[in-house]
Amino acid sequence: MGSRELKKAGLKATLPRIKILEILGSNDVRHMSAEDVYKALLESGDDVGVATVYRVLTQFEAAGLISRHHFEGGHSVFEMNEGEHHDHILCVKCGRVDEFLDETIEKRQHALAKERGYAMTDHSLYIYGVCAACQKEQ
């Protein structure tokens, strides 16, 4: 279980934290909202409060265990940090999410920031469109 990771991240290994780490780790669904995580906890019979879910997700993010995205529609979406940084392409019809990493774009971003005198710290890029499957159906 995730007690190891938690301690390594300087976090007490509590039941809610272990469970949430498990849920995000099960590569069942990679991108989950706080609500999704909360529901998954309830379904697996674990009684964790919403407040705790939000607190833990924020802590995990601060600890670098997960990252937070802002997909169109407002609320935050989280995913386990494993593998490289990447950006997202989303289907506006069915909500499907694909990931990609493009060196050309990554480099251009840094160059653009530099040109304008900024010390770049981060970026977020989302491409929206209609996925192959959704294009077919009518």
Tally the C-alpha atoms within 13 A of residue 42's C-alpha that lie toward its C-beta. Answer: 9
At its nearest, how many Å lie between Mn ion and the CB of residue 81?
10
- The token pair that represents 93 in the structure block: 């019809």
Select 69 or 96, whichever has its Cβ closest to Zn ion: 96
Q: Is 116 in the site for a copy of itself (CB under 8 A)?
A: yes
Q: Are 31 and 45 in contact (CB under 8 A)?
A: no
Q: Is 92 in the site for a copy of itself (CB under 8 A)?
A: yes
Which residue from 93, 108, 110, 114 is in contact with Zn ion, where contact means CB under 5 A?
Answer: 93
- The answer to whether 66 contacts DNA (rule: CB under 7 A) is no
Question: What residues form DSSP beta bridges with 99?
Answer: 88
CA–CA gap between residue 52 and residue 70 (Å, rounded):
20
Is the CB of residue 93 less than 8 Å from the CB of residue 131? yes
Each residue 65-104 as x (binds Mn ion by CB under 5 A) or -, in order, gives: --------------x-------------------x-----
Concatenated DSSP letters for 1-18? -THHHHHHTT----HHHH
Of 63 and 134, nearer to Zn ion (C-beta) is: 134
> In the complex, which residues of this chain contact DNA (CB under 7 A)?
3, 7, 11-17, 33-35, 47-52, 54-56, 58, 74-76
